Amino acid sequence: MNYEKEYEQMSESVKKLIENTETKMFKLINDYNEMIELSDEYENFSEDEDNNNFQLVDTVDLSSKFSELSDYLEDYTS
């Protein structure tokens, strides 16, 4: 068995999974935020979250979370 080839295949599959999941997650959050922003309630948006009937989801740090996952194989392969 060619373990190096198997590792490369597994690594590539994990990379694609992480990339696809990040893309889907970003789209889901973005779609949700857009729905809120288009709603009538958004006109009454308050910086005080307790005064809102909704919450927006910030994606500012999302990519860094997936970057950490992407580094996992490299960091933990002995």
CA 23 to chain centre: 7
Kindly tell me the sign of the dihedral angle through the C-alpha atoms of 6, 10, 15, 17.
positive
Give the per-residue SS3 of the chain: CCHHHHHHHHHHHHHHHHHHHHHHHHHHHHHHHHHHHHCHHHHHCCCCHHHCCCCCCCCCCHHHHHHHHHHHHHHHCC
Answer with the residue of higher pLDDT: 13 or 39: 13
Categorize the per-residue pLDDT at 12 as very low, low, confident or very high, splitting at 50, 70 and 90: very high
Task: Report the pLDDT averaged over residues 16-42.
Answer: 94
Both structure tokens of 30: 């973005």
Question: What tens digit of pLDDT does each residue of 42-72 get?
Answer: 877 766 667 777 888 999 999 999 999 999 9
